[in-house]
Amino acid sequence: MPKLSAQARARKIKLLLFDVDGVLTDGKLYFVPEAASEGAKEGSNPSHQASFEDSPRAAGSTPTRTAHEQIEIKGFHAHDGVASSLCRVAGIKSGLITRRVSETVARRARDLRLDHIHQGIQDKRACFEQVARQEGLKLEEAAFIGDDVVDLPAMRAAGFAIAVQNARAEVKREAHYVTPHAGGDGALRDAVDFILKSQGRLQKVLETYLGQHSAQGSSQLSAVSRQRRSKSR
């Protein structure tokens, strides 16, 4: 049997799942001890337990407490947010499977309105297969994006295995497609664009997405205009 091309595999995809660290992010983990964030607050009480509002916030990232009483910060790329929206417009289900457990990731996943959020997963392949079954799909209709060897079992089960540009060499070797951008730099958007382009739907989905935003923007402007007219009376 001849090997299927990346485009042929992508044409079948109805479900896109992915890792987080190294895929949605650049793979770096930032930890700020709570003691440091407390001391930085003028007049803080040493016994005070820092809240999310007390902690330093980096642009485009969200802090969360870890099991070791540290603040964890991750950065996410806006292009990947658009990728998630394009999946919804196209009717492609999406979600994450990660070994780590992080409220930061949970918040970002809710922001992106992902269909599946699985944290603390040791067996990514089993989780991947379970999600596909839940969606009533064959494995050949599901894709997985990874960056390190822990992602290989899920990638091997997927009909379309995707590696990000910053993935380990052995992961790239087993991938059907490698994204032009690295994780945390728009790799998810690369994958979604490739899938939709292979399905001959990219332009139509983009136009629908832009149309929805234009309609939403017009609605918001109308609401603001009505409020201003009401106040001026």
Q: List per-residue pLDDT tens for the chain, 233 residues long.
A: 568 999 999 999 999 999 999 999 999 988 888 764 444 444 444 333 333 233 333 334 455 555 556 778 899 999 999 999 999 999 999 999 999 999 999 999 999 999 999 999 999 999 999 999 999 999 999 999 999 999 999 999 999 999 999 999 999 999 999 999 999 999 999 999 999 999 999 999 999 999 987 766 555 555 545 565 555 55
Structural tokens at position 206: 């983009």
If asked whether residues 71 and 81 sit together in one domain, one would say no
If asked whether residues 162 and 104 sit together in one domain, one would say yes
The verdict on residue 216 lying in a domain is no
CA 200 to chain centre: 23
Q: Would you put residue 156 in left (φ > 0), alpha (ψ -120 to 50) or beta?
A: alpha
If asked whether residues 127 and 101 sit together in one domain, one would say yes
If asked whether residues 82 and 71 sit together in one domain, one would say no
CA 126 to chain centre: 20
Structural tokens at position 101: 């457990």
If asked whether residues 141 and 183 sit together in one domain, one would say yes
The verdict on residue 217 lying in a domain is no
The verdict on residue 1 lying in a domain is no
- Listed in sequence order, the DSSP H helices in 113-201 are 124-134, 152-157, 169-174, 187-198
* pTM (2 d.p.): 0.78
